[in-house]
Amino acid sequence: MKSREANLQSACVKYFRYQYPKLAGVFFHVPNGGSRNAIEAKNLKIQGVVPGVADLILLKPSGQYSSLCIEMKAGTGRQSESQKQFQQAAEKAGNKYVIVRTFEEFVDNIHRYLNNCSEYITGDGC
C-alpha cells in the first residue's frame, strides 16, 4: 500500500476504534498486498489468500447487508482487476462495498452503514 493510502487508512482505523470500541474486534485489515518472495507468496495462496480483498472489513450486518468492505484509494488510485472481481463477488454475496478516498468519506460511509441509511440521499435522517 502506498504511503498516502497507508496514512489515510491508519487515520480511519484509529477513528473507528475510538468511536466504536465495541466493534473494534470485528473491524480489521486484511494484509493481502505487499511484496513477498515466491515461497511465501505460494504458502499464502495455499493458506487461502484471495487477490483483491478489500483493505478493511467490518463484520457487522446492517439493513440488507452482511458486512461492509472498504477499499482505500488515495488521490486518483484505481482498482486493480482482482479488486474489481472481489467487489463483484462481495456484492453478489450480500455485502456492501465502498471505495473511500478521504477521511470524511470514511466517516460518512461508516455512519451511513451503521445507521442503515439510504445512500447519499439528503433528508433521510442520517
88: domain CATH number is 3.40.1350.10
Q: Is 125 within a domain?
A: no
| Residue-number span of the structural domain to which 62 is assigned | 3-114
Q: Regarding predicted confidence, which is higher, 55 or 122?
A: 55
pLDDT of amino acid 121 = 44
Percent of the chain with pLDDT over 90: 67
pLDDT for residue 1: 56
Domains in the chain, number: 1
Over residues 59-63, the mean pLDDT reads 95
The reply to whether 89 falls in a domain is yes
Q: Is pLDDT above 80 for 122?
A: no
> Above 90 in pLDDT, residue 67?
yes
DSSP string, 9-70: HHHHHHHHHHH-GGGGGGEEE----S---HHHHHHHHHTT--TT--SEEE---BTTBS-EEE
